[in-house]
Chain A
Amino acid sequence: MKHYRLNILLAALAVAGCKKSEPAQEQPRPAEPKKHAVGLVTDVGGRGDHSFNDSALRGLELWAAGVAFEGSAYKPVTREEVRRSLAEDVARLEPPVEPLGVRPLVVQSKAQEDYEPNLQLLVDQGAALTVGVGFMLENAVEAVARRNPGSKFLLIDSPLLDAKGNPVKLPNVRTVVFREEEGSFLVGALAGLVSKKQVGFVGGMEIPLIKKFEAGFKAGVKSTAPKTAVLSSYTGTFDNVAAGKQIAQDMLAKGVDVIFHAAGSDGLGVIQAVKEARSSGKEVYGIGVDSDQHHLAPEAMLTSMIKRVDLAVYQAARDLVEGKLAATDVVLGLKEGGVGYALVRAEFPGKAEALAKIEELRRRIVAGEIDVPSNSAELEAFQAAP
């Protein structure tokens, strides 16, 4: 009797386990030719983070596969809808972004230990290309890529590193990193133009990746408002909304009127604080990160620093379909359209001139006339220069 019960329990667990890790998958249509399957493993942020993972999913599902995830299944969307989802600068790209007819296989990670099995699962399911979203998947992508030399991988936000932190290369892994400092520079320049007192920067964990945002932002502020002070602070986490809010409140009370965050979920708290200050009558703005975060606080958002993870994923899928997916280390900056800033919807005096100035700065960065600092040492050199 006892064994019988145990068996039922185990069977139930097994079913539950399968269900959880089974990728959401489109029904194959028999009439069409064989589609390339492209897998994607999110980091623990998962679907619905309004930022990094959602951007990667958009690149794969909406742009490359031409489907939308609704409820628990994929529903096809028209080419027109895909085109409408593109931001202005992406829509201008050549060749145009349009569905490639790949088949998406998506697995969300619940914990850090899930990364490796999830990647392997997608390889076993026949994914020709598997995307690991976020630097936290670096080890897992490396391990699975070594084990499956016949499959291709895309790692977002980090090069492959050996145990000592030196870059390594694998013949079947493409990596993509972004020049976040360049996008941050532009939003910093805008913040400098809009701010009447001081500007603030709120970071998540104090790691080199986030330091790039800070350095670029500070340099941007300096380029348009050399006298404006920049307060900067780190929450030390990416998942403590209250900490983000407190830091922002502290800055707002000290006279900061534009705050840029690069703090993951903590940033929601930053935006919350800005929203509250605004509803109490203060003329303050927030600047979002990664995706366009305008919808989180429509009145209070100045713009967002955009990181085109979607484009990186889409381009890898296109290269796969065209049979030219090379194992390169890609760096996407302003020039490549990999970073940028979201449409500025807020109205403020001198908006047209400010935007013209930002566009001019963008042009100069693309032309290589401005070398945007990406760490504190370079920032000091930048600030020391006239």
Chain B
Amino acid sequence: MLEVLEALLFLAFDYAPALVFASLGAVLSERAGVVNVGVEGMMRAGAFAAAVGALVVPTPLGVVLGMLAGACLGAVHAYLCIRWRSEQVVSGMAINLVALAAGTFLLEALFAPTGTPPIAQLERWSLPLLKEVPIVRAASGHSALTYLALALPLAFHLALWRTAFGLRVRAAGEKPAAAETLGVSVSGVRYACVVGAGLLAGLGGATLSTSTLDRFEHHMPAGLGFMAVAAMVFGRWTPLGAFAASAFFSLGNALRIGVASSAPAVLQVVPQGFLLALPYALTLLVLGLQRRRGAAPAALGVPYDPETR
């Protein structure tokens, strides 16, 4: 029984980081008032750039390259949404499509159709004391990114609610005109946040190709970006909420896998497809139950135009 629980926790620790980073990115962008459904595309760019980078430079540098690639797509999204006030959902979807096609094209042009050659995977940390204790040792044996994913949400929470910059970010998403009258550059804040969201989504993608696997595989991130957006909504647009939702989704996923191998009889009663759809169904439920707009920032999806009020 203990080892079943341990397997479950270990899986969740391994699976969650990519989702945590990407959903934090989505929170950052949407808190500043820019809808970000392009997370999937930014993750794909990050995963690809990190794997290709890691073929020539050390893998941690490859991860940084992946983040930069995500940030580049974030910058495109920001430019379209802020400078040209385009429809933000359309821009996000366009980024997803471009990243899907460009990733496939580059992969085929440079390597094989199915994936890059293997790279040196990020080192897995074996924590000396932890690994002796049952259950708790599930936290040992992950890459540095897992521990970063545990620390980042709290730092993010403090930054958003305890610092002046955090206040400006939230103001840009709630009432940009008021922020502007107080001398905050709404465009500047939004640019920073959307590019930052790209960095985080890129990091999430890089996690997939350098930590989860040791190469870019042509289906990456296989819908995880949309799951990240769902986690953001489920977590009511807060960093800690998004973290909790990501952890919840990851645990649910680990539970599904654990049940399938340990207690196959359960799957005779509850079809596996139902369990696969559960995170999305829960997100729909949360969206359906909350009041109109609910926890979402008031100016979310509204391009800021200083001439209007």
Which A positions have Cβ atoms within 8 angstroms of B? 45-50, 108, 200, 206, 231-234, 236, 239-243, 245-247, 249-251, 253-255, 265, 268-269, 272, 276, 280
Contact = CB atoms under 8 A, between A and B. Distances in A.
22 contacts: A49-B114, A206-B272, A231-B262, A233-B260, A234-B272, A236-B272, A241-B213, A241-B219, A242-B212, A247-B261, A249-B7, A250-B7, A250-B8, A250-B257, A253-B10, A254-B4, A254-B262, A255-B3, A265-B114, A265-B217, A269-B213, A272-B213
Nearest to B8: A250
Interface in B267-287: 272-273, 276
A280 B141 contact: yes
A45 B112 CA distance: 11
Interface in B222-247: 222
Nearest to A255: B3
B126 A280 contact: yes
A250 to B, nearest CB: 5
A27 to B, nearest CB: 24
A250 B15 CA distance: 12
Contacts of A251: 261
Contacts of A246: 11, 14-15, 253-254, 257
A251 B3 CA distance: 10
A241 B14 contact: no
A46 B108 CA distance: 11
Tell me whether chain B's interface is mostly helix, strand or loop, or mixed: helix
A242 B11 contact: no
B3 A254 contact: yes
B261 A249 contact: no
Given A253-B10, A265-B217, A276 B253 contact: no
A46 B7 contact: no
B273 A236 contact: yes
Nearest to B253: A246
B174 interface: no
B60 to A, nearest CB: 18
Given A246-B257, A254-B3, A280-B141, 8 more contacts: A47-B113, A49-B114, A241-B219, A242-B208, A247-B261, A254-B261, A268-B213, A276-B121
B261 A232 contact: yes
Residue with the greatest number of chain A CB neighbours at <10 A, chosen from B3, B4, B222, B264? B222
Residue of B121, B222, B261 contacting most chain A CB atoms (<10 Å): B261
A74 B7 CA distance: 49
Contacts of A254: 3-4, 7, 261-262
B7 A245 contact: no
B22 to A, nearest CB: 14
B30 interface: no
B258 interface: yes
A154 B45 CA distance: 40
A251 B214 CA distance: 20
B87 interface: no
A206 B4 CA distance: 24
Contacts of A200: 261
A280 B123 CA distance: 11
Contacts of A234: 260, 272
A240 B6 CA distance: 23
A202 B121 CA distance: 23
B276 A250 contact: no
B124 interface: yes
Given A250-B258, A255-B3, A241 B114 contact: no
Contacts of A108: 113
B133 to A, nearest CB: 15
Contact of A249 (B3, B10, B217, B220): B10
Contacts of B260: 233-234, 247
A255 B2 CA distance: 12
Contacts of A231: 261-262
Contacts of A49: 114
Interface in B102-124: 112-115, 121, 124
A253 B3 contact: yes
A247 B258 CA distance: 8
B6 A253 contact: yes
B93 to A, nearest CB: 20
Interface string B149-166: 000000000000000000
Given A254-B261, A265-B219, A272-B213, A46 B3 contact: no
A255 B257 CA distance: 15
Given A240-B219, A241-B219, A246-B257, A272 B7 contact: no
A206 B208 CA distance: 25
A156 B226 CA distance: 36
A233 B261 contact: yes
Nearest to B224: A242
A239 B217 CA distance: 9
A250 B261 contact: yes
A31 to B, nearest CB: 35
Contacts of A268: 115, 213, 217
